[in-house]
Amino acid sequence: MRKIFVFILLWASGIMCAQNKEFSVSILVDDQLNKDEVMVSLHDHLENDLIKVKSGNILLYKWNVADHKVTFSPKNRVPEKPCETVIFLKSDGEFLIRPKLQIKRDSTGKITDISIPLESRVRYLAKHVDFATSRVLYNTIIEIQPPTKKNIQISIAEFEKFIGTNASEMAKKSPSEFAKKEDAFVESYKQKIIGEYRDDFNLKSNSKYFAQNVLEPTQKTYAVLPQPGLKEKKVKKIEFRGGKNDNLIYKDNYKVIMKKMLGNYHYYDDLATMYIDVIGDSVSTASTLLFGDKDLAKELVAGTPLLMVKENNHLEINRLNMAAGTPGVSVAIKKNGVFGLENIEKIFYESPVFSLVERNAPELSYFAKLAKNENFIDYSLEDIQGRQLGYELLLSPSQKHWNVTEIKTTKNIYSFEKKSIFGATLIDEISQGELQRILSAYKPDVYKVELVSVLEEKKDKIEKIAIYHPAGLDRGMEYIVYTFAKEDVDGEEVLRKTKLARGKIGKSYSPCMSELNIKDGEKEFFKAYHNKEKFIIEISEKSK
Amino acid sequence: MNKIYLTIALILSFLTAQSQKRMVVQAIDVVEGRKKLNLFATAYASESIKLVPSYCVNFLANHKKFSIVDRQNISLISNEKELQKSEEFIDGYIVDQGKSEGADFVLKPLYISGEKMLVLKVYDVESGTVKCSKERKMDTNILGIKNLEAITETMLHELLFTCFEIKYSFVRPVEVKKDEVKTFLLSMGTKHKVKKEDRVEVFYYVTENIDNEDISRKVIIGEGQIEEVQDDNFSVVKIKKGGKEISTLLNEKQKISCIISNIID
């Protein structure tokens, strides 16, 4: 009996352990640092901050960008285990360890002031990839604040003692010799310069939110707790279900949103903007920026379901506003390496219609092998295996164009010019309009502009409508309303689009739904609409 | 009833896909040719000429008659299709692994730098022969090759006509004044990469009997300019020359065709 009892106990605890086997968030840290001492020191400090994150599931890896080699870091405090998210982290920039002396002169050429400037241009690029699907989730740039102290003041006497002569005269008589002495002086100050950077308050304060900025909140939306007993007409503080384990950042701005309907489409309306005030264990507090909010108070009393979402979490906001059942399109971008083309990647991964697949990261194969290791047999590996996303469309650049290729047929389905500034420099950006055109070229019957509702009609004119497109709508975009006329072309009936009206996007309800203010053709549109004629709304060629 | 319409639509789309020819655009070769004195730097010209394949792909992408095979990325695409066959994708998303077809034609650009000559050749893959070719002498200045994109597009319009007899139908007159057609509707739109102000050549075919053989002869009757590109398949053309002749031919129920024939200075 005792043996049976022990067996049951062991079996049950085995199950419990398996259920507690959480996957890690693996951070691949670029090992190819600019080797200046300040950078190495800062980097070390920031890595230690990442390890200390309380969720305890962070694992660091040394990552060689050039040969894609991944090695488990000795800094880790827990053993290696399979991951669900891979974060690529790369530093960029440098601290100015050997700057040029800043020398001020008066009108006679006499040196009046000497200082050593302290400057840094350092940032970290972080890219999140969902390991199970290879889907790009997020990328961000974390700017390292430059030092507060802008320079080290040097007395002219000290400088002249170093160079052994009058500085102003030497600068006039032998500039090349003077330049060499300048460099030697700065070199002699090297340790002090490094010390200044290390001691700088600003640089130290960077580490405070570094880990949170790299990791970003684990949960995307938080439910706001209703306050039915609220007596005030305006409310300044709210409570929501989110806490320490959600990587919330103090003072981060969040939107409070509520669901509304327009026609058959829903959208999330912004009610208020609040900042994280108090981070609790599982319930936290947010406050309005300045004054109390009346509309928020009304909804809290009524018990309307409200959500909080981070202000710059465009993916989540777009996802919430997309109509249910919209089919997605998986796309990959042809480029060299994991980083690069961040602006273009962002427009795709923030659009819930698209799944951006990462195919420039052979490093992911390390984690695929790890997941197959028999040491991890008691992990729920079915959650991370067999779910890889293949991509349907490939976006590849040529010198002046972007080409979209359908994988199934290897056919180029759409091509468009790269954006330029003043007709010259080509920039890596894609407009919302081009996203719509890509979708229309791929599946024109699935992805199209939908008329949500006629908003403003006067006598025999339609002046304002609401439209929806899952790829998103931007203010100022122009759309054309077309009807169809039949034309006989060599005995075949072909439908010809006839321009009925033109409109521009105005007020936005959500990223996917906006007002379209009709110009040119209000009467014609009114007539066609009420006669139930077939019409379509398409983005104008002018909207690039 | 809906099932019947769906079936018809599927058959039509299948037939359309079948009637599209698959074309591969290759990278441009730059050869020296006969050396001539060249006052302007050729380095920039050599760099800008590399854009020609990109202009060709852009021109032919979405053309009704062609599907452009992405040659540049063929290995990447093949790797992806192979990858998607692995067990890692078993519950994920994969593309339909259908048959990968080869190309029917190859468009090969060539630039003879010594003669400043741009050549576009179309090879028939099945026979391995040159189906047709177009060449144009380019003008260069201190900045490089002038009007490269416009010239490439004009050559492509001409190539489509010469090689594949692709011409576009005069659909109907839009504006007629005193028995003279002023504007007409042309079955050519954004899908055919037509642009506002493109020059349109209007012609018809007569049959000549030469040595007991019927041969079609092209007769140019007029000239126009694209006034408005209406949609994917239609444009409005303003007639510059030949309005009356066109009107006469229409009365005779003669079939009239058009092509784009830009003159670039």
Q: Of A407, A418, A538, which to mutate for an interface test with B (greatest number of B Cβ within 10 Å)?
A: A407
Residue A5: predicted pLDDT: 66
**Using one digit for the tens of pLDDT, what is the confidence trace for A461-494?**
999 999 999 988 988 899 999 999 899 998 889 9
DSSP per residue over B28-45, as a string? Answer: PEEE--S----SS-SHHH
* DSSP codes of every residue in B137-182: EPPEETTEETTHHHHHHHHHHHHHHHHH---EEEEEEEEEETTEEE
Asked if B89 is an interface residue toward chain A (Cβ–Cβ < 8 A), one would say yes
What pLDDT shows up at residue B251?
Answer: 92
CB contact set of A51 (below 8 Å; sequence gap of 6+): A58, A60, A75, A76, A77
- What is the average pLDDT score of chain A? 86
**A144 and A122 in contact (C-beta within 8 Å)?**
yes
Whether pLDDT at A116 is above 90: yes
Restricting to B residues 56-75, those with a Cβ less than 8 Å away from any Cβ of A are 57-58, 60-62, 67-70, 72-74
How far apart CA A347 and CA A526 sit, in angstroms, is 35
CA distance to partner chain B, nearest, from residue A327 (Å)? 12
For residue A376, pLDDT beyond 90: no
Chain-chain contact of B72 with A332 (C-beta, under 8 angstroms): no
Which residues on A lie below 8 Å from B233 (Cβ)?
Answer: 494, 496
Rounded CA-CA distance B215/B105 in Å is 26
Mutation pick from B19, B80, B93, B226 vs chain A, by most beta carbons of A within 10 Å, is B93
pLDDT of res. B186: 96
Question: A17 pLDDT exceeds 60?
Answer: no
Amino acid A22: pLDDT: 74
Helix axes A201-215, A37-51, angle to 10 degrees: 50
Please count the helices (runs of H) and the strands (runs of E) in chain B. 6, 14
Dist CA A57 CA A78 (whole Å): 8
Q: What are phi and psi of A396, to 5 degrees?
A: -130, 145
A396 contacts in chain B (CB < 8 Å): 70, 72-73
The rounded distance, in Å, linking the Cα atoms of A24 and A15 is 19
Beta-bridge mates of residue A307:
A223, A257
Share of chain A above pLDDT 90, in %: 38
Q: Which residues of chain B have pLDDT under 70?
A: 1-18, 34-46, 87-101, 265
Q: A418 — contact with chain B (CB < 8 Å)?
A: no
Q: Do B234 and A496 touch (CB under 8 A)?
A: yes
How close, in Å, is residue B120 to chain A by CA atoms? 19
Residues of A in contact with B74 (CB under 8 A): 410
Residue B1's pLDDT is what?
57
A98 interface with B at CB cutoff 8 Å: no
Residues of B with CB below 8 A from A368's CB? Answer: 88
Phi, psi of A414 (to 5 degrees): -160, 145
Q: Which residues of A touch B62 (CB under 8 A)?
A: 413-415, 441
**B38 conformational bin, left if phi > 0, alpha if psi -120 to 50, beta if neither:** beta
Q: Quick one: pLDDT at residue B183? A: 96
Chain segment A271-282, per-residue pLDDT in tens: 999 999 999 999
Nearest C-alpha neighbor of B108 from the set B184, B18, B24, B35: B24
Q: Cβ–Cβ of B61/A413 closer than 8 Å?
A: yes
Between residues B258 and A139, the one the model is more confident about:
B258
**Inter-chain contact B61–A332, Cβ cutoff 8 Å?**
no
Mutate to test the interface with B, among A133, A388, A394 (most CBs of B within 10 A): A388
For residue A203, what pLDDT band results from cuts at 50, 70 and 90? low
How confident is the model over A505-533, as pLDDT tens digits? Answer: 999 999 999 999 998 899 999 999 999 99
CB B16 within 8 A of CB B65: no
User: How many CB atoms within 10 Å of residue B233?
Assistant: 21
With contacts defined as CB-CB under 8 Å, which chain A residues touch B230?
496-499
Mean pLDDT throughout A125-144?
A: 88
Interchain contact B84–A (C-beta under 8 A) = yes
Residue A446 has pLDDT above 50, yes or no: yes
A388 touches chain B (CB under 8 A): yes
- A246-255, A378-387, B131-140, B214-223, range with the lowest pLDDT: A378-387
Give me B209's structure tokens.
Answer: 């009997």
Structure token pair of residue A384: 């991370």
Alpha carbons A256 and A238: distance in angstroms, whole number: 10
CA-based nearest residue to B256, from B173, B197, B196, B179: B173
Write down the pLDDT at residue A21. 65
Structure tokens that stand for A385 in this block: 């295996």
The pairing of strands A535-539 and A492-510 is: unpaired
pLDDT 10s digits, A343-364: 899 889 888 889 899 988 989 9
Contact A389, A378 (CB under 8 A): no
**Mutation for testing the B interface, residue in A364, A391, A400, A412 having most B CBs under 10 Å:** A412
A408 within 8 A of B110, measured Cβ to Cβ: no
Residue A408 touches chain B, beta carbons under 8 Å: yes
* Unique residue bearing structure tokens 């047929």: A409
State how far the Cα of A326 lies from the Cα of A443, in Å rounded to an integer. Answer: 12
Give the model's pLDDT for residue A461: 95
Residue B114 DSSP symbol: T
Alpha-carbon distance of A44 to A203, in angstroms, equals 13
Quick one: closest CA in A to B64, which residue?
A: A413
Please give the pLDDT value at position A58.
87
